[in-house]
Amino acid sequence: MSCEIDIRGLTKRFGANTVLDGIDLCLQPGERVAIIGPSGTGKSTLLRCLNFLDRPDAGVLKLGDLTVDAAKASRAQILALRRRTAFVFQNYGLFANKTARQNLTEGLTVVRGWSAARAEARADEILAQIGLADRGDSYPASLSGGQQQRVGIGRAMALDADLMLLDEPTSALDPEWVGEVLDLIRRIADGRQTMLIVTHEMQFAREIADRIVFMEGGRIVEEGPPAQIFGDPRDARTRAFLRRVG
């Protein structure tokens, strides 16, 4: 099978600190990959580098027929890459001065170039799918944390991207809102949306992912199907981490 996204030698430094140290990773079409590991090991930075929210220092990214050399990427190439990816932020990332509907239409009109009418029709479709059909005119401040994150996920859904990147989508939520957000992500995953998910929810990762990637120290230490990683991890660092998060 061909890779939906192929990452080779991805490297990112902040000053003298190497956060990503030559990451190689391939995702198949429709595959759900969950990234786990200790805090500060580069998991979120990996996602941010994949659509140039943080610019990598080195590496090659391939998404379909698009190939981007991170060190030489032009603005046009970065925009083309972003058109094929959708990002779900851990802190929602909504525009506070825009309604839920406007948060969904923004990417469609600005990134996709859709007309306002077409974008609003698509936004209303998505709002119904995420259970917020009656909150389209609401501003983020009037929504619960769970509702705000559902709008954030809905914004990613609206773009119909080749790859959805989810960065700790439940970490900013109060416990009572976690379940509804995880249920929505499960529904999207059931549609075979290609996903790369950074999560600290081990049971969720076990349930939703086709493959688990364990990172430590800016490198991929081990990867495999959930049953193998959670049931019989081969690397001592993976075993130690899973014992800690128990």
CA distance 53 to 83: 13
pLDDT at 138: 98
- Assigned token pair, 158: 């609206």
pLDDT at 172: 83
Query: Using CB atoms within 10 A of its CB, is residue 2 exposed (0-12), middle (13-18) or buried (19+)?
Result: exposed
Here the CATH number for the domain that contains residue 123 is 3.40.50.300
Q: What confidence category does residue 199 fall into, taking pLDDT thresholds of 50, 70 and 90? A: very high
pLDDT at 2: 61
Of the candidates 25, 26, 21, the one whose C-alpha atom is nearest the C-alpha of residue 11 is 21
Contact between 122 and 108 (Cβ < 8 Å): yes
Per-residue pLDDT, averaged over 54-82, amounts to 95
Q: Is the dihedral of CA 240, 215, 207, 91 positive or negative?
A: positive
CA distance 120 to 101: 7
User: Which pLDDT tens digit goes with each residue over 158-190?
Assistant: 998 999 999 999 888 888 888 889 999 999 988
CA distance 180 to 169: 11
Mean pLDDT taken over the chain: 94
Per-residue pLDDT, averaged over 80-97, amounts to 92
User: Measured in whole angstroms, how far is the alpha carbon of residue 126 from the centre of its chain?
Assistant: 18
Nearest 5°: the CA angle 216, 150, 111 is: 85
Nearest 5°: the CA angle 246, 19, 111 is: 100
Report how many domains make up the chain: 1
pLDDT at 112: 86
Work out the percent of the chain whose per-residue pLDDT is above 90.
83
Coil/strand/helix, residue 180: helix
User: Which pLDDT tens digit goes with each residue over 22-37?
Assistant: 999 999 999 999 999 9
- DSSP state letter for 134: G
Q: Which helix (H) or strand (E) holds 87?
A: strand 85-88
What is the reported pTM? 0.93
List the domain range (segments joined by +) for residue 57.
5-245
Coil/strand/helix, residue 5: strand
pLDDT at 4: 73
pLDDT at 60: 97
User: Which pLDDT tens digit goes with each residue over 118-140?
Assistant: 999 999 999 999 999 999 999 99
CA distance 171 to 168: 5
Determine the straight-line distance between the first and last CA of the chain, rounded to whole angstroms. Answer: 35
